[in-house]
Amino acid sequence: KDRPRVLSGIQPTSGSFHLGNYLGAVRQWVDLQEANDAFYMVVDLHAITVDQDPETLRQNTRISAAQLLGAGLDPERCTLFIQSHVPEHAQLGWIMNCLTGFGEAARMTQFKDKSAKQGSDRTSVGLFTYPILQIADILLYQADAVPVGEDQRQHLELTRDLAERFNTRYAPTFTVPNPYILKETAKILDLQDPSAKMSKSASSPKGLVNLLDEPKVSAKKFKSAVTDTDTVVSYDEEKKAGVSNLLRIHSALSGQSIEKLVEHFEGKMYGALKTELAELFTEWVTPFQARTRTYLEDPAELDRVLAIGAEKARAVASETLATVYDRIGF
């Protein structure tokens, strides 16, 4: 390996990504593909831990892949694939299930949160063991670093424990990965409720910026974003959460520092910031949508790109799995 290996995945549960998905995750994947040997996947195996309509799942998986390409993932620079195209994920997942203690898995707070919302009869065993499939996802590729949000830190710790456990019990086999916690400042808030993060499941339609919506629709959402009763544009995450969120989005899209922006908006009011942000977003999202559309309108080309990705991924995954099978006595 000449460059650090990174691996990350995104669920295909929503047709359109939202601005939080892009600025919080996907955009950083695009940056990381340059200096790293990056593996990125659409995790459809994880999606079925909750009920999915088959045709919707198939569509959303393709739309997710097309958006990743539209956002700037370059199949020449990274390996982009669909998780279910690489059967080694499920195969190593089973082995990792058998190495994980029940109590250890039961301590995962993400599961406790998610299952509490569903009730135990509607919660699948798959949802319980999904962190263990995640472990397989990571270890298959001998990833050095895993770019994830803070909420995934506990799962990364379990991944490290399991890698070390396997290496100790059998023989050195897996790279023990490090979390690469994505910057907290990349957290994008709901435009209507700046006390909450922008989220597909929790945000109101007006608070959520979908990347595949008509740019005009999103521009309107920026213009009616909830701020506060003050008028001075300044950065204060506590007292001016709404304005600070808009400044962060502006900074991420324009590449200008927050300090520069605060200077730029001196003597101007919130309306000026919102109008500029609406324009900036439209400028970015228009070519993003055009690139995404080229893949959606040419299914054969999307299939071709994803088949190459799956083949590159399998080359690595099958080698790891063969070693693992040998070590455990298969």
Catalytic residue among 117, 187, 200, 274: 200
Closest approach, Cβ 53 to ligand ADP, in A, equals 17
Least distance CB 19 / ligand ADP (angstroms): 8
Pairing of strands 5-10, 78-82: unpaired
Annotated binding residue 200? yes
- Residues with Cβ within 8 Å of residue 162, at least 6 apart in sequence: 96, 99, 100, 132, 135, 139
Contact residues toward ligand ADP (CB under 6 A) are 10-11, 18, 20-21, 24-25, 149, 186-188, 197-201
Select from 27, 70, 14 the least CA-distant residue to 289.
70
Is 137 a known ligand-binding residue? yes
Q: Could you confirm whether 200 is annotated as catalytic?
A: yes
Under 8 Å between Cβ of 324 and 93: no
Phi, psi angles (nearest 5°) of residue 304:
-65, -50
SS3 content of the chain, % helix, strand, coil (to 5): 60, 10, 30
Q: How far is the CB of 51 from ligand ADP (least distance, A)?
A: 16
To ligand ADP, the closest distance from the beta carbon of 182 in angstroms equals 7
Q: Which is nearer to ligand ADP, 148 or 219 (CB)?
A: 148
Q: 166 or 180: whose CB is closer to ligand ADP?
A: 180
Active site residue 114: yes
Which residues lie closer than 8 Å to 86 by C-beta, 6 or more apart? 41, 140, 310, 313, 314, 317
Tell me: is residue 9 an annotated ligand-binding position. Answer: no
- Closer to ligand ADP at the Cβ: 252 or 313? 252
- Which single residue brings its beta carbon nearest to ligand ADP? 24
Asked if 39 contacts 5 with a C-beta cutoff of 8 angstroms, the reply is yes
95 appears as a binding residue in the annotation: no
- Catalytic one of 187, 197, 206, 312: 197
* 140 vs 314: CA distance, rounded Å: 9
CB of 21 to ligand ADP, least distance (A): 4
312 is in an annotated binding site: no
| Nearer residue to ligand ADP within complex by CB, 68 or 140 | 68
Distance from C-alpha of 236 to C-alpha of 243, rounded to nearest angstrom: 8
CB count in 10 Å sphere of residue 274: 21
Is 309 known to sit in a ligand binding site? no
Angle at 32 (CA atoms; ends 29, 33), nearest 5 degrees: 90
Q: Which is nearer to ligand ADP, 158 or 324 (CB)?
A: 158
199 is in an annotated binding site: yes
Residue 239 among the catalytic residues: no
**24 vs 131, beta carbon nearer ligand ADP:** 24
Residues in the chain: 330
Strand locations in the chain (E): 5-10, 37-42, 78-82, 145-148, 178-181
Q: To the nearest whole angstrom, how small is the minimum distance from the Cβ of residue 208 to ligand ADP?
A: 8
- Which residues on neighbouring strands pair with residue 39, listed in sequence order? 7, 79
Binding residues for ATP: 11-13, 20-21, 149-151, 188, 197-201
Binding positions for L-tryptophan = 137
**Catalytic machinery residues:** 114, 197, 200
